[in-house]
Amino acid sequence: MKKTPKCTYTVCMACGICVQACPVSCLDLTDNNRDKYKKAFPQLDNEENCIGCKICEKQCPVGAIIVA
Amino acid sequence: MKGYTGKILFVDLSTQTTEVIAIDEAVYQQYLSGIGLATYILTKTIPQGADPLGADNVLGLVSGILTGTGSFMTGRWLAVCKSPLTGGWGDANCGGTFAPAIKQCGFDGIFFKGMSEKPVYLYVDNKRAEIRDASAYWGLDACEAEEKLIQDCRVTKKPQVALIGTAGEKVSLIAGITNDFGRIAARSGVGAVMGSKKLKAVVLAGSKPIKGADFEGMSQASKKFADKVRKQNLPKFAGNLLPAMGTLASKTKDTAPADGMLVAGMLKTFGTAMNNTMALTNGDAPIKNWKGSSKDFGKKQFKGFNPLVINKKEFKKYHCYSCAVGCGGICDINKESQGRFKHTHKPEYETVNAFGALLLNTDQDAVLYLNELLNRAGMDSISAGGAVAFALECYEKGIITTADTDGLELNWGNTSAIIKLVEKMIARDGFGDLLADGVKVAAAKIGRNASDYAIHCGGQEPGMHDARLDPLLGVHFSADPTPGKHTVGAGLYYQYMHLWKYCSWAPALTKHPKAEEFLPSDEEALKSIANSCYKMILDGAGGCYYGMLIGNEHWNVVELLNFATGWELSYDAYMEIGKRVHTMRQMFNVREGINPKENIMCKRMAGEPPLNAGPLKDKTVQIDEMVSLHWKHFGWDQNTGIPSNETLKSLNIQELYEGGQK
């Protein structure tokens, strides 16, 4: 099975660093149904585009993303 | 090089050529990146006396050292140029996601000189920088054009776009540069400069990595900061308590330093809308073109601006790049705009007050609509609101009549007339054309004592905060080389920053801003200087103003800069860099013939005559004396505001000015 980014929402700050770091722009801050403030978390908007490069994982300042 | 790329891109729009210029590491150590690098480049490249709307003016879009290094609160970029609004140094600051894109293309800044004959945009990715035809985008509003450019230019990575709307195209002197569908670098007329160059947009699609020196140190600092921010959660009903908190704050005599993490909690819950009602009860918000009080705009009038009411329209939070707090939001305005727009960025407090209390307008839906209208046009909502307030007062005083206003009855609070006037300003139509260049230009054209009602600092309309509540704010309105900006410093900001614990010469907080700070003193001057120097560090780092308010104990910009660069400089050393950059901006103004005294805020803003009601009743600010002391302690002439040769020498910048004033 293809390895893709997985976000731990209780850790994620929704800062968008992973979104801007992604070289193929397959992540976006769109998942806004998990938080009482309607915070928008990163979501893979196109799994096929993900190249599994792990840049999002490396760039996340709080370790909220793993590519697995 | 760590934290910075060591390169800038220079674009000549007259010859349609681009050049990559290497920047020596010593330049960053002397000035930092961001505003410091920009000040250095503009000082060297803009010829003295250049026409702000001519080919010789240089427009820079710059990113900061911390942007992209794994630090939080560091997603700000700046537009810099000689301002057509003030005739001196111009800068405007913006969030969104454009700041990292500059560095991901391999540059710390992109600078433009010359003028194109036809509309163009710049496209940059990892391998190329191309000047392309923009005729298909010229005439579109900023959101329409941004969407189309992203669609047309996307190869793999989604491009980030900074662009002008129709206000910039029409060279309105209060036009800004937008990104992220409605964030705006609004101040100083930077959009007019971009429009004068026929540059519609800058499209960036690079994906180069940005590296810092101490990844582990930065990571630990970020995790610690995130843990604190996560815990800051306010109950939503707190929104109803904000007016009472404002009243309490206006009466308290407490001198204890404030904990900035509370600001993070308020921003998370309400955004800058937290100030919508609180500022009206504590006196921070200017009312009725700065001559009104809570008697004119009280509880009954401001109920529609309660942040809880606005939050109900918010369907998604919005974070700028690298922001752990997230003060932004996206609001549904389909109904409020009668189907014209689906959504808008949650209006900032500045916009709400500029189109609310400043005009005695109680219609919250109209403010939401105007917010989107101005964002799409790329027009500064602070200046636009100030211009409308000026027109309303001129109408009240009989200086202008319906014969001048194209039939608009410009009475206070006349919402439909206000909307029509803004639409005319954006289109540069009739009477709107007169106001589209700000209040100073409009007053000069109208004549007949109209300048008595033109509220500005050196040509720029001030932010929506009142120096009669916070006198140090007035010093920054007046003495910052970009006058009228509310984001530089204030007594309140100083209370939150806790600078005295880190900078050896910053005075400790011992006085209460409602009383003693109204008296000019050396101590107060040192506070305003510390604020000014710190702001230059912040703008060199790409830091957010709310990082500044959250304070050094939680978000220590100097510690983060050392993690990013590996320099290990002291706090005082960074403050010295801040002093250098600030002085260079002042020297830019002096060189361009600006008399610093003419930037001092107008008498009404200083409480002359004083208000006769509300929390600011009888308050006056001895602004001339305070500014004079501020200049003196900066090592500038205390009567003229001109930096002395000794100061230039001590800051190691005298060579830039040929030994004195160029």
CA atoms within 13 A on the CB side of B552: 20
Neighbours of B7 (CB within 10 A): 16
Say whether both B553 and B648 belong to one domain.
Answer: yes
The radius of gyration of chain B from alpha carbons, rounded to an integer in Å, stands at 23
Q: Which domain holds residue B433?
A: 271-453
Structural domain ending residue among the three candidates B204, B220, B240: B204
Mean pLDDT by 10 residues, chain B (662 residues): 93 98 97 98 97 98 97 98 98 98 98 98 97 98 98 96 98 98 98 98 96 93 96 83 81 76 92 93 96 93 90 94 96 90 96 98 96 98 98 98 98 98 98 98 96 98 96 97 95 91 92 69 95 98 96 96 97 98 98 97 96 94 97 97 97 82 41
* Structural domains in chain A (count): 1
Say whether both B320 and B290 belong to one domain.
Answer: yes
Contact (CB<8Å) A37/B230: no
Let me know if residue B247 belongs to a domain: no
Let me know if residue B538 belongs to a domain: yes
What 3 state SS string does B357-374 have?
A: HHHCCCCHHHHHHHHHHH
Say whether both B532 and B595 belong to one domain.
Answer: yes
Judging contacts by C-beta atoms under 8 Å, the chain A residues touching residue B181 are none
CA dihedral B203, B184, B311, B324 (to 10 degrees): 70
Burial of B648 (0-12, 13-18, 19+ CB in 10 A): buried
Neighbours of B416 (CB within 10 A): 11
pLDDT digits (tens, 9 = 90+) for B43-79: 999 999 999 999 999 999 999 999 999 999 999 999 9
Say whether both B498 and B610 belong to one domain.
Answer: yes
Task: State chain A's mean pLDDT as an integer.
Answer: 92
Let me know if residue B235 belongs to a domain: no
Contact (CB<8Å) B316/A22: no
CA atoms within 13 A on the CB side of B423: 10
C-alpha distances (whole Å) from B50 to each of B27, B45, B47, B96, B557 are: 24, 10, 6, 31, 35
Q: Does B265 touch chain A (CB under 8 A)?
A: no
Let me know if residue B215 belongs to a domain: no
Structural domain ending residue among the three candidates B403, B426, B453: B453
Burial of B236 (0-12, 13-18, 19+ CB in 10 A): middle
Say whether both B295 and B192 belong to one domain.
Answer: no
Angle value at C-alpha B462, between B461 and B468, nearest 5 degrees:
140
Secondary structure class of B92 (helix, strand, coil): strand
CA dihedral B85, B87, B91, B94 (to 10 degrees): 10
Contact (CB<8Å) B316/A32: yes
Contact (CB<8Å) A15/B324: yes
Say whether both B589 and B627 belong to one domain.
Answer: yes
Quick one: pLDDT at residue B511? 67
Judging contacts by C-beta atoms under 8 Å, the chain A residues touching residue B322 are 15-17, 61
Judging contacts by C-beta atoms under 8 Å, the chain A residues touching residue B70 are 17, 59, 61
Sequential DSSP letters for B273-296: GGHHHHHHHHT-S--TTTT--TTT
**Residue closest to B584 by CA, chosen among B91, B77, B23:** B91
Contact (CB<8Å) A40/B223: no
Least Cα separation, residue A44 to chain B (angstroms): 14
Let me know if residue B233 belongs to a domain: no
Contact (CB<8Å) A59/B70: yes
| ipTM value for the complex | 0.96
Q: Which domain holds residue A33?
A: 5-67
* Claim: this prediction has a pTM higher than 0.80: yes
Judging contacts by C-beta atoms under 8 Å, the chain A residues touching residue B317 are 14, 32, 35, 37-40
Quick one: pLDDT at residue B238? 82
Say whether both B397 and B483 belong to one domain.
Answer: no
Structural domain ending residue among the three candidates B188, B204, B220: B204
* Structural domains in chain B (count): 3
Quick one: pLDDT at residue B660? 45
Q: What is the CATH number of the domain that holds A30?
A: 3.30.70.20
Say whether both B370 and B305 belong to one domain.
Answer: yes
Bridge-based pairing of strands B7-12 and B17-22 is: antiparallel
Q: What is the CATH number of the domain that holds B584?
A: 1.10.599.10
Bridge-based pairing of strands B109-113 and B7-12 is: parallel
